[in-house]
Chains A and B, each alone.
Chain A
Amino acid sequence: MNDNKPHYFDFDDEDVVLEIINLKKHFPIRRHANQVIHGEHPFVRAVDGVSFQLRRGEILGLVGESGCGKTTTGKMIMKLLEPTHGTIVFNGEDVTHSDKMNEIAYRRRVQMVFQDPYASMNPRFKVKDVLEEPLLIHKVGGTREERREKIKNVMERVKITPFEEYSERHPHMLSGGQRQRIATARTLILEPSVIVADEPVSMIDLSTRAEILHMMKTVQREMELSFLYITHDISTARYFTDRISVMYLGKIMEIGPSDSVIDTPMHPYSRALISAVCEPEPGKANELKVLPITGEIPSAARIPAGCRFHTRCLQAMDVCQVAEPELLKVGEKHYAACWLNTDEETRQKSRAQAIEKLEAAVLPA
């Protein structure tokens, strides 16, 4: 299980709060009769070897289409799902298979904001109960007065004031934006070091979306939190994040500083994703958009061999069908997994090696 640290981990250990190494999650699926006969075990490879570092005080975006494994990655980090393979390192400590007690302590430090703030709150709780619950669970609140003080402070931090008025309300008496603020406050009250936010603004109205992101960013800076921002929306990711990693079918295709990933994408999938984004500019109503991608996303149960993107890539070459590219340095702290970023010689060699390997597997000596 001990995977080596990937070569693209270029941040110092003391600078890093969370480290994910070759994380995988494979879900077994029901077998057909002939698969049983042949002893095959089919899997949905939801996450298929994801590695990244999250620095202290950094916001990292995990961007991709539905089914790319971004939420599954988030759930594994939250320890809501057991990884099939790989390591999660938190503050230098391997927490992948920690016991129940350590898990509770870990969850206090790593908190999650969910997509739907209404569904993730008990409708019978008042705001003050919603915020008090984590303190009680983790037994960190102290006396009743101390807890009250903490709740008041955290509500001020997320700008839900006055305290007296809002603490007595039920979730249904709040607007969507206010609810998401309370959901954020609920994570902040435990003073975590990492927050995993899974699509925190996708259910919120556009006019307030910016307000919530702004609030989260302010809190993040004030409390020096690390954020893992999981989203399908690359435009909010640009505004909100320091670095972006683009995922496709369970793997990272490209990772780097947000500006350089969006301004100079080095992977065809990132390019397709970026070109598909709508921009509020005039004069586009009567022309069709050119999309550098074909087809639909394949099933994660049948991930294409070689580069997993080659079936949809317009620039696919021979090598792409047999050999899977690694993340290669393409800029300052910027990495992309694409053969286009290598030279012809490397491609020929990798292709030959991959074919050799395949033949060795198919034809026993």
Chain B
Amino acid sequence: MSNNVLEVKNLKLHYFTEQGVVRALDGLTFEVGKGETLGLVGESGCGKTTTGVALLNMPSPPGRIVEGQIFIDGVDIVGMNNRQLRREVRWSKIAMVFQGAMNCLTPVYTIRQLMEETYREHVEKYEKAACDAAMLKYVNMVGLPDHILDRYPHELSGGMKQRVVIAMALFLEPSLIIMDEPTTALDVIVQAQILNLIKGLKKDLGLSYIFITHDLATEAEVADRIMVMYAGKAVEIGTNEQIFGAQGPLHPYTAKLLAATPRLHQKVDELAFIPGSPPDLIDPPAGCRFAPRCPFAKDKCQTHEPPMTVLGPQHQAACWKAVKDADYERQ
């Protein structure tokens, strides 16, 4: 088997609503290597969180995985039933820190009770000693004192709660953790502390992450590779250096998104922005989904959807301009 903890092939997750089929994920293919952080970035509604939930194979109804495979440590989890998933996959192999999870800790339970619950839910046989040892180990690992276990959520600050949630994701020792906007609701300084923690854990435990955020600047701080999503599809995958380096990204959407990200140490008179809004996923545009908002769109982009094309080592983009398509150049 290869060195990848996760391989996703042509994943499609659709929501079957009364208004029609929302194609929230429409053919995603990517992989995450051991000890690697893959950043998932895009506007709201582009399918970042849906990807995270799909990887745990727990789409919220009326969503369903309609096609594709998800290999975690070489095992396809798409066909598994719920019991199997709970015992063998979720939390033991892949865990997720949900967006805003720190504000969803049940207020009437202590941190110890909350963590115990996770343990009982996902481990075949509950052993108190093993559970206690694991709790202490991971609570300390995220930089919290022992007595935190007997505190209630309201007694903790935002940063501490986020640490607790990370400890809860860690403590059944998964090899891959999905972090969905783990720092968005936090203050800048706390955010930087949490990012340091996440990076430190990766180094110490050899973890892999999928780091979901809407903010490219945060992604630059943590991700080894970045996957940019737009309207349910990946539009560009590249390394940190390829996306943020001097050469710059290949896809116009990534470039626009980067230009819209404010930089502290660079005074600009005008920030760029992307006019318009993302397309309706019930009836997405026929050609490139970004074409209606793209300054470089030509006739070909309106009618033909560009495929994901390898354009360099570890660098892929889905854009007719980037691949220097002959028809596109002629128009």
B270 to chain A, nearest CB (A): 6
A272 to B243, CA, bound (A): 27
A229 to B196, CA, bound (A): 29
Partner of A281, one of B189, B244, B275: B244
A291 to B160, CA, bound (A): 17
Contact between chains at B221 and A273 (CB < 8 Å): no
From 147 to 182 in chain A, residues with beta carbon under 8 angstroms from any chain B beta carbon are 175, 177
A316 at the A/B interface (Cβ < 8 Å)?
no
A195 to B214, CA, bound (A): 28
Contact between chains at A235 and B264 (CB < 8 Å): yes
From 180 to 200 in chain B, residues with beta carbon under 8 angstroms from any chain A beta carbon are 187-193, 195-196, 199-200
Q: With A65-B189, A205-B214, A208-B274 in contact, is A285–B262 under 8 Å at CB?
A: no
Interface residues on A, range: 35 or more
A-contact 0/1 string along B215-230, CB 8 Å cutoff:
1111111111000000
Chain A residues with CB under 8 A of B160: 296
Contact between chains at A235 and B263 (CB < 8 Å): yes
B43 at the A/B interface (Cβ < 8 Å)?
yes
Chain B residues with CB under 8 A of A239: 262, 267-268, 271
Chain A residues with CB under 8 A of B37: 285
Contact between chains at A285 and B261 (CB < 8 Å): no
Chain B residues with CB under 8 A of A259: 267
Contact between chains at B262 and A278 (CB < 8 Å): no
A208 to chain B, nearest CB (A): 6
B240 to chain A, nearest CB (A): 5
Chain A residues with CB under 8 A of B196: 288-289, 291
Contact between chains at B221 and A238 (CB < 8 Å): no
Contact between chains at A279 and B260 (CB < 8 Å): no
B122 at the A/B interface (Cβ < 8 Å)?
no
Q: With A206-B43, A210-B260 in contact, is A296–B159 under 8 Å at CB?
A: yes
A353 to B274, CA, bound (A): 58
Identify the interface centre among A177, A277, A291: most chain B CB within 10 Å of its CB.
A277
A263 to B203, CA, bound (A): 32
Q: With A232-B188, A277-B188, A291-B193 in contact, is A207–B271 under 8 Å at CB?
A: no
Q: With A276-B189, A291-B196 in contact, is A282–B245 under 8 Å at CB?
A: yes
B241 at the A/B interface (Cβ < 8 Å)?
yes
Interface residues on B, range: 35 or more
B148 at the A/B interface (Cβ < 8 Å)?
no
Contact between chains at A278 and B217 (CB < 8 Å): yes
B-contact 0/1 string along A284-325, CB 8 Å cutoff:
111111010100110000000000000000000000000000
A249 to B223, CA, bound (A): 33
A176 to chain B, nearest CB (A): 8
Chain B residues with CB under 8 A of A288: 196, 199-200
Contact between chains at B264 and A234 (CB < 8 Å): yes
Contact between chains at B188 and A234 (CB < 8 Å): yes
Question: Which residue in chain A gives the minimum CB-CB distance to B222?
Answer: A285
A237 to chain B, nearest CB (A): 9
Contact between chains at B273 and A279 (CB < 8 Å): no
Chain A residues with CB under 8 A of B263: 235, 279-280
A-contact 0/1 string along B199-220, CB 8 Å cutoff:
1100100000000001111111
Contact between chains at B264 and A279 (CB < 8 Å): yes
Chain B residues with CB under 8 A of A272: 189
Contact between chains at A279 and B193 (CB < 8 Å): no
A182 to chain B, nearest CB (A): 15
A208 to B278, CA, bound (A): 11
Q: With A206-B260, A283-B240 in contact, is A214–B188 under 8 Å at CB?
A: no
B241 to chain A, nearest CB (A): 5
Q: With A207-B274, A210-B273, A214-B270 in contact, is A278–B218 under 8 Å at CB?
A: yes
A65 to chain B, nearest CB (A): 4
Contact between chains at A211 and B273 (CB < 8 Å): yes
Chain A residues with CB under 8 A of B188: 65, 232-234, 273, 276-277
A66 at the A/B interface (Cβ < 8 Å)?
yes
Chain A residues with CB under 8 A of B257: 206-207
B300 at the A/B interface (Cβ < 8 Å)?
no
Identify the interface centre among A66, A211, A235: most chain B CB within 10 Å of its CB.
A235
Q: With A239-B262, A273-B188 in contact, is A205–B220 under 8 Å at CB?
A: no
Contact between chains at A210 and B221 (CB < 8 Å): no
Contact between chains at B265 and A279 (CB < 8 Å): yes
B210 to chain A, nearest CB (A): 14
B84 at the A/B interface (Cβ < 8 Å)?
no
Chain B residues with CB under 8 A of A235: 217, 262-264
Contact between chains at A285 and B224 (CB < 8 Å): yes
Contact between chains at A238 and B262 (CB < 8 Å): yes
Which residues of A are interface residues toward B (Cβ below 8 A)?
65-66, 175, 177, 205-211, 213-214, 232-236, 238-239, 259, 262-263, 272-289, 291, 293, 296-297
Q: What 14 new A-B contacts, CB under 8 Å, besides A208-B273, A235-B262?
A: A206-B257, A206-B261, A208-B274, A232-B187, A238-B264, A239-B268, A262-B264, A275-B192, A277-B188, A278-B215, A280-B244, A280-B261, A285-B199, A296-B190
22 CB contacts below 8 A, A to B, read: A66-B158, A207-B257, A210-B262, A213-B271, A214-B273, A232-B187, A233-B262, A235-B217, A235-B262, A239-B271, A262-B265, A276-B192, A277-B264, A278-B215, A278-B218, A282-B240, A282-B241, A285-B220, A285-B221, A288-B200, A291-B189, A297-B157
6 closest cross-chain pairs (CB), A and B: A210-B271, A276-B192, A211-B273, A282-B244, A278-B217, A65-B187
